[in-house]
Amino acid sequence: MRVSSPAGMPIPQSKSPHRVVLVTGPSGAGRSTAINTLEDLGYEVIDNLPISILPRLLEGGGLTKPLALGLDVRNRDFSVNGLIEVIDDLTRDPNHEAEVLYLDCAPEVLIRRYSETRRRHPLAPAETAQDGVAREIDLLVPIRARADILIDTTEMTPHQLRDEIERWFAEGSEADMALSVHSFSYKRGMPRGVDMVFDVRFLSNPYWDESLRGLNGTDPRVQDYVKNDPRFDSFFQKILELTLLLLPAYRDEGKKHLSIAFGCTGGQHRSVTLAEILSKALAEHNWQVSIRHRELERRQSGL
Protein backbone atom coordinates (compact mmCIF):
# COMPACT_ATOMS: atom_id res chain seq x y z
CA MET A 1 0.00 0.00 0.00
CA ARG A 2 1.28 3.48 -0.87
CA VAL A 3 0.53 6.36 1.48
CA SER A 4 0.20 9.90 0.11
CA SER A 5 0.47 13.29 1.70
CA PRO A 6 -2.49 15.72 1.66
CA ALA A 7 -0.94 17.33 -1.41
CA GLY A 8 -0.93 14.01 -3.20
CA MET A 9 2.85 13.52 -3.00
CA PRO A 10 3.95 9.97 -2.14
CA ILE A 11 5.40 9.50 1.31
CA PRO A 12 8.46 7.21 1.29
CA GLN A 13 7.76 4.00 3.18
CA SER A 14 10.14 3.25 6.01
CA LYS A 15 11.99 0.02 5.42
CA SER A 16 12.15 -2.35 8.37
CA PRO A 17 15.74 -3.23 9.29
CA HIS A 18 16.84 -6.69 8.21
CA ARG A 19 17.41 -9.04 11.14
CA VAL A 20 20.86 -10.60 11.30
CA VAL A 21 21.84 -13.09 14.01
CA LEU A 22 25.55 -13.78 14.44
CA VAL A 23 25.90 -17.21 16.06
CA THR A 24 29.22 -17.87 17.73
CA GLY A 25 30.91 -19.40 20.77
CA PRO A 26 33.54 -22.03 21.53
CA SER A 27 33.70 -25.15 19.37
CA GLY A 28 31.50 -27.88 20.81
CA ALA A 29 29.11 -25.53 22.66
CA GLY A 30 26.16 -26.20 20.34
CA ARG A 31 26.54 -23.74 17.47
CA SER A 32 25.51 -26.30 14.84
CA THR A 33 22.35 -27.15 16.77
CA ALA A 34 21.51 -23.45 17.09
CA ILE A 35 22.10 -22.83 13.37
CA ASN A 36 19.95 -25.80 12.35
CA THR A 37 17.16 -24.66 14.68
CA LEU A 38 17.21 -21.14 13.23
CA GLU A 39 17.02 -22.60 9.74
CA ASP A 40 13.95 -24.60 10.78
CA LEU A 41 12.44 -21.36 12.12
CA GLY A 42 12.68 -19.77 8.67
CA TYR A 43 16.07 -18.08 8.79
CA GLU A 44 18.41 -18.09 5.84
CA VAL A 45 21.49 -19.76 7.26
CA ILE A 46 25.11 -19.45 6.15
CA ASP A 47 27.75 -21.28 8.16
CA ASN A 48 31.50 -20.55 8.25
CA LEU A 49 31.25 -17.62 5.84
CA PRO A 50 34.60 -15.78 5.58
CA ILE A 51 34.28 -12.53 7.53
CA SER A 52 35.78 -10.54 4.65
CA ILE A 53 32.84 -11.56 2.42
CA LEU A 54 30.15 -10.63 4.95
CA PRO A 55 29.91 -6.89 4.09
CA ARG A 56 29.37 -7.72 0.40
CA LEU A 57 26.66 -10.22 1.31
CA LEU A 58 24.75 -7.68 3.39
CA GLU A 59 25.22 -4.79 0.97
CA GLY A 60 24.14 -6.83 -2.02
CA GLY A 61 20.47 -6.94 -1.03
CA GLY A 62 18.11 -9.64 -2.21
CA LEU A 63 17.68 -11.11 1.25
CA THR A 64 14.02 -11.85 1.91
CA LYS A 65 14.31 -13.75 5.19
CA PRO A 66 16.08 -13.04 8.47
CA LEU A 67 19.70 -14.12 8.29
CA ALA A 68 21.66 -16.33 10.68
CA LEU A 69 25.44 -16.53 10.27
CA GLY A 70 27.58 -19.17 11.97
CA LEU A 71 30.96 -17.71 12.90
CA ASP A 72 33.79 -19.31 14.87
CA VAL A 73 37.52 -19.97 14.78
CA ARG A 74 37.07 -22.39 11.87
CA ASN A 75 36.17 -19.50 9.57
CA ARG A 76 38.95 -19.10 7.02
CA ASP A 77 39.82 -15.52 8.00
CA PHE A 78 38.47 -15.45 11.54
CA SER A 79 39.85 -12.82 13.89
CA VAL A 80 38.43 -11.30 17.05
CA ASN A 81 39.08 -7.76 15.82
CA GLY A 82 37.48 -8.55 12.49
CA LEU A 83 34.33 -9.91 14.10
CA ILE A 84 34.08 -6.99 16.53
CA GLU A 85 34.38 -4.62 13.58
CA VAL A 86 31.51 -6.44 11.86
CA ILE A 87 29.39 -6.19 15.03
CA ASP A 88 30.12 -2.47 15.35
CA ASP A 89 29.31 -1.80 11.68
CA LEU A 90 26.02 -3.69 11.89
CA THR A 91 25.07 -1.92 15.11
CA ARG A 92 25.51 1.45 13.42
CA ASP A 93 23.72 0.43 10.22
CA PRO A 94 19.99 1.40 10.30
CA ASN A 95 19.28 -1.14 7.54
CA HIS A 96 20.21 -4.07 9.74
CA GLU A 97 19.22 -5.16 13.22
CA ALA A 98 22.03 -7.35 14.48
CA GLU A 99 22.14 -9.67 17.47
CA VAL A 100 25.05 -11.72 18.73
CA LEU A 101 23.99 -15.15 19.98
CA TYR A 102 26.82 -16.65 22.02
CA LEU A 103 26.72 -20.35 22.92
CA ASP A 104 28.79 -20.85 26.05
CA CYS A 105 29.83 -24.00 27.90
CA ALA A 106 32.03 -25.03 30.83
CA PRO A 107 35.57 -26.01 29.75
CA GLU A 108 35.41 -29.45 31.32
CA VAL A 109 32.24 -30.26 29.38
CA LEU A 110 33.77 -29.06 26.10
CA ILE A 111 36.80 -31.27 26.74
CA ARG A 112 34.54 -34.25 27.45
CA ARG A 113 32.55 -33.64 24.26
CA TYR A 114 35.75 -33.62 22.23
CA SER A 115 36.99 -36.80 23.88
CA GLU A 116 33.68 -38.54 23.17
CA THR A 117 33.74 -37.63 19.47
CA ARG A 118 37.53 -38.06 19.14
CA ARG A 119 37.68 -34.90 17.08
CA ARG A 120 40.74 -32.68 17.06
CA HIS A 121 40.26 -29.15 18.32
CA PRO A 122 40.73 -26.57 15.53
CA LEU A 123 43.12 -24.53 17.68
CA ALA A 124 45.14 -27.53 18.83
CA PRO A 125 45.32 -30.05 15.96
CA ALA A 126 48.53 -31.58 17.30
CA GLU A 127 47.86 -31.04 21.00
CA THR A 128 45.24 -32.07 23.53
CA ALA A 129 41.63 -30.93 23.42
CA GLN A 130 42.24 -29.26 26.78
CA ASP A 131 44.88 -27.01 25.19
CA GLY A 132 42.54 -26.06 22.36
CA VAL A 133 39.55 -25.38 24.61
CA ALA A 134 41.57 -23.13 26.93
CA ARG A 135 43.05 -21.26 23.97
CA GLU A 136 39.69 -20.71 22.31
CA ILE A 137 37.87 -19.56 25.45
CA ASP A 138 40.62 -17.03 26.09
CA LEU A 139 40.49 -15.84 22.48
CA LEU A 140 36.71 -15.32 22.52
CA VAL A 141 36.49 -13.28 25.74
CA PRO A 142 35.95 -9.95 23.88
CA ILE A 143 33.26 -11.51 21.68
CA ARG A 144 31.49 -13.03 24.68
CA ALA A 145 31.41 -9.57 26.25
CA ARG A 146 29.55 -8.25 23.18
CA ALA A 147 26.85 -10.94 23.22
CA ASP A 148 23.21 -9.84 23.16
CA ILE A 149 21.98 -13.33 24.06
CA LEU A 150 24.19 -15.73 25.98
CA ILE A 151 23.05 -19.34 26.40
CA ASP A 152 25.04 -21.65 28.64
CA THR A 153 24.72 -25.17 27.21
CA THR A 154 26.75 -26.89 29.93
CA GLU A 155 23.81 -28.87 31.29
CA MET A 156 21.65 -28.83 28.15
CA THR A 157 20.86 -31.68 25.79
CA PRO A 158 20.59 -30.78 22.08
CA HIS A 159 16.81 -31.01 22.44
CA GLN A 160 16.82 -28.56 25.36
CA LEU A 161 19.06 -26.17 23.42
CA ARG A 162 16.69 -26.34 20.48
CA ASP A 163 13.77 -25.46 22.78
CA GLU A 164 15.74 -22.53 24.18
CA ILE A 165 16.55 -21.19 20.71
CA GLU A 166 12.89 -21.48 19.73
CA ARG A 167 11.85 -19.53 22.85
CA TRP A 168 14.17 -16.69 21.87
CA PHE A 169 13.63 -16.60 18.14
CA ALA A 170 10.32 -18.26 17.19
CA GLU A 171 7.96 -15.92 15.36
CA GLY A 172 5.15 -14.53 17.52
CA SER A 173 6.61 -15.33 20.93
CA GLU A 174 7.36 -12.69 23.56
CA ALA A 175 10.97 -13.70 23.11
CA ASP A 176 10.83 -11.89 19.73
CA MET A 177 12.45 -9.18 21.81
CA ALA A 178 15.65 -10.38 23.42
CA LEU A 179 16.01 -8.99 26.94
CA SER A 180 19.29 -8.81 28.82
CA VAL A 181 20.12 -7.39 32.25
CA HIS A 182 23.71 -6.31 32.95
CA SER A 183 25.82 -5.31 35.91
CA PHE A 184 28.96 -3.21 35.60
CA SER A 185 31.50 -1.04 37.41
CA TYR A 186 31.58 2.70 36.76
CA LYS A 187 35.36 2.51 37.24
CA ARG A 188 35.59 0.61 33.95
CA GLY A 189 33.06 2.74 32.15
CA MET A 190 29.51 2.10 31.04
CA PRO A 191 28.82 -0.90 28.79
CA ARG A 192 28.21 -0.10 25.15
CA GLY A 193 24.80 -0.29 23.57
CA VAL A 194 22.62 -0.50 26.69
CA ASP A 195 19.15 1.04 26.54
CA MET A 196 18.38 1.74 30.21
CA VAL A 197 21.00 2.44 32.90
CA PHE A 198 20.46 2.76 36.65
CA ASP A 199 23.09 3.96 39.10
CA VAL A 200 22.80 2.02 42.39
CA ARG A 201 25.79 3.50 44.19
CA PHE A 202 23.41 5.18 46.66
CA LEU A 203 22.56 1.80 48.24
CA SER A 204 24.47 0.41 51.22
CA ASN A 205 27.74 -1.11 50.06
CA PRO A 206 28.52 -4.69 51.21
CA TYR A 207 32.19 -4.02 50.45
CA TRP A 208 32.53 -2.36 53.87
CA ASP A 209 31.45 -5.54 55.62
CA GLU A 210 34.58 -7.72 55.75
CA SER A 211 32.54 -10.92 55.85
CA LEU A 212 30.90 -9.97 52.53
CA ARG A 213 33.77 -8.24 50.75
CA GLY A 214 35.01 -11.35 48.97
CA LEU A 215 31.51 -12.42 47.89
CA ASN A 216 29.35 -11.01 45.11
CA GLY A 217 25.72 -10.18 44.44
CA THR A 218 24.82 -13.70 43.38
CA ASP A 219 25.22 -14.73 47.03
CA PRO A 220 22.01 -14.51 49.14
CA ARG A 221 23.95 -12.95 52.02
CA VAL A 222 25.03 -10.04 49.84
CA GLN A 223 21.53 -9.68 48.44
CA ASP A 224 20.04 -9.57 51.93
CA TYR A 225 22.51 -6.85 52.93
CA VAL A 226 21.57 -4.71 49.92
CA LYS A 227 17.84 -5.30 50.38
CA ASN A 228 18.06 -4.19 53.99
CA ASP A 229 18.82 -0.66 52.85
CA PRO A 230 15.60 1.28 53.69
CA ARG A 231 15.59 2.78 50.20
CA PHE A 232 15.79 -0.54 48.37
CA ASP A 233 12.14 -1.65 48.33
CA SER A 234 10.76 1.61 46.99
CA PHE A 235 13.52 1.91 44.39
CA PHE A 236 13.19 -1.66 43.16
CA GLN A 237 9.41 -1.55 42.90
CA LYS A 238 9.59 1.60 40.78
CA ILE A 239 12.22 0.02 38.51
CA LEU A 240 10.13 -3.15 38.12
CA GLU A 241 6.94 -1.20 37.39
CA LEU A 242 8.72 0.98 34.86
CA THR A 243 10.29 -2.03 33.13
CA LEU A 244 7.03 -3.97 32.94
CA LEU A 245 5.36 -0.88 31.48
CA LEU A 246 8.00 -0.35 28.81
CA LEU A 247 8.76 -3.91 27.66
CA PRO A 248 5.45 -4.54 25.83
CA ALA A 249 5.59 -1.06 24.32
CA TYR A 250 9.10 -1.61 22.95
CA ARG A 251 8.16 -5.05 21.67
CA ASP A 252 5.06 -3.69 19.94
CA GLU A 253 7.22 -1.08 18.23
CA GLY A 254 9.25 -3.93 16.74
CA LYS A 255 12.33 -3.60 18.94
CA LYS A 256 14.26 -6.87 18.86
CA HIS A 257 16.62 -6.35 21.78
CA LEU A 258 16.46 -4.37 25.00
CA SER A 259 19.26 -4.19 27.52
CA ILE A 260 19.03 -2.88 31.08
CA ALA A 261 22.15 -2.17 33.12
CA PHE A 262 22.87 -1.51 36.80
CA GLY A 263 26.14 0.14 37.76
CA CYS A 264 27.95 0.46 41.07
CA THR A 265 31.48 1.25 42.18
CA GLY A 266 33.12 -2.14 41.72
CA GLY A 267 30.50 -4.07 39.76
CA GLN A 268 30.59 -6.86 42.31
CA HIS A 269 27.90 -6.39 44.97
CA ARG A 270 25.08 -3.88 44.48
CA SER A 271 24.81 -3.89 40.69
CA VAL A 272 25.00 -7.69 40.57
CA THR A 273 22.31 -7.91 43.25
CA LEU A 274 19.91 -5.67 41.32
CA ALA A 275 20.56 -7.47 38.05
CA GLU A 276 19.87 -10.83 39.67
CA ILE A 277 16.71 -9.73 41.45
CA LEU A 278 15.25 -7.86 38.47
CA SER A 279 15.99 -10.79 36.13
CA LYS A 280 14.20 -13.18 38.46
CA ALA A 281 11.19 -10.84 38.75
CA LEU A 282 10.95 -10.44 34.97
CA ALA A 283 11.19 -14.20 34.49
CA GLU A 284 8.25 -14.58 36.87
CA HIS A 285 6.34 -12.31 34.48
CA ASN A 286 7.18 -14.73 31.61
CA TRP A 287 9.95 -12.72 29.98
CA GLN A 288 13.00 -14.57 28.68
CA VAL A 289 16.00 -12.88 30.27
CA SER A 290 19.74 -13.32 29.94
CA ILE A 291 22.04 -12.00 32.68
CA ARG A 292 25.49 -10.52 32.15
CA HIS A 293 27.86 -9.59 34.98
CA ARG A 294 30.68 -7.83 33.15
CA GLU A 295 33.14 -7.46 36.00
CA LEU A 296 32.58 -10.96 37.37
CA GLU A 297 33.18 -12.37 33.88
CA ARG A 298 36.37 -10.36 33.61
CA ARG A 299 37.62 -11.69 36.92
CA GLN A 300 36.84 -15.25 35.91
CA SER A 301 38.76 -14.70 32.69
CA GLY A 302 41.70 -13.17 34.52
CA LEU A 303 41.24 -9.74 32.90
Which tens digits make up the pLDDT trace of 74-119?
A: 777 888 888 888 888 888 888 888 889 999 999 999 988 887 776 7
Q: Where is pLDDT greater, at 270 or 149?
A: 270
Task: Quote the pLDDT of residue 15.
Answer: 59
Task: Quote the pLDDT of residue 76.
Answer: 75
Task: Quote the pLDDT of residue 11.
Answer: 36
* Half-sphere CA count of 290, side-chain side, radius 13 A: 28
Which tens digits make up the pLDDT trace of 189-239?
A: 887 668 899 999 999 999 999 999 999 999 999 999 999 999 999 999 999
> Is it the case that residue 275 has pLDDT exceeding 70?
yes
Inter-residue contact 47 to 54 (CB < 8 Å): no
Q: What is the DSSP letter of 297?
A: H
Which tens digits make up the pLDDT trace of 43-81?
A: 999 988 888 888 888 876 667 788 999 988 877 788 888
SS3 at position 273: helix
**For 5-14, 46-55, 129-138, 290-299, which range has the lowest pLDDT when averaged over its residues?**
5-14
Q: Kindly report the CATH number that applies to the domain delimited by 18-171.
A: 3.40.50.300
- As annotated, the residues of the chain forming the CATH 3.40.50.300 domain(s) are 18-171
**Residue 257: pLDDT band by 50, 70, 90 thresholds?**
confident
Task: Quote the pLDDT of residue 52.
Answer: 84
Task: Quote the pLDDT of residue 118.
Answer: 65
Most confident of 3-17, 83-97, 114-128: 83-97
> Is it the case that residue 7 has pLDDT exceeding 70?
no
**For 166-170, 186-190, 212-216, which range has the lowest pLDDT when averaged over its residues?**
166-170
The span from the CA of 295 to the CA of 267, in Å, is 6
Task: Quote the pLDDT of residue 8.
Answer: 41
Which tens digits make up the pLDDT trace of 228-254?
A: 999 999 999 999 999 999 999 988 877
SS3 at position 201: coil
SS3 at position 258: strand
Task: Quote the pLDDT of residue 6.
Answer: 38
β-bridge pairing 44-47 and 67-70? parallel
Q: What is the DSSP letter of 15?
A: P
**Residue 175: pLDDT band by 50, 70, 90 thresholds?**
very low
User: Considering Cα of 194, then 199, then 201, then 204, what sign does the dihedral take?
Assistant: negative
pTM of the model: 0.59
Most confident of 82-91, 143-152, 263-272: 263-272
SS3 at position 121: strand
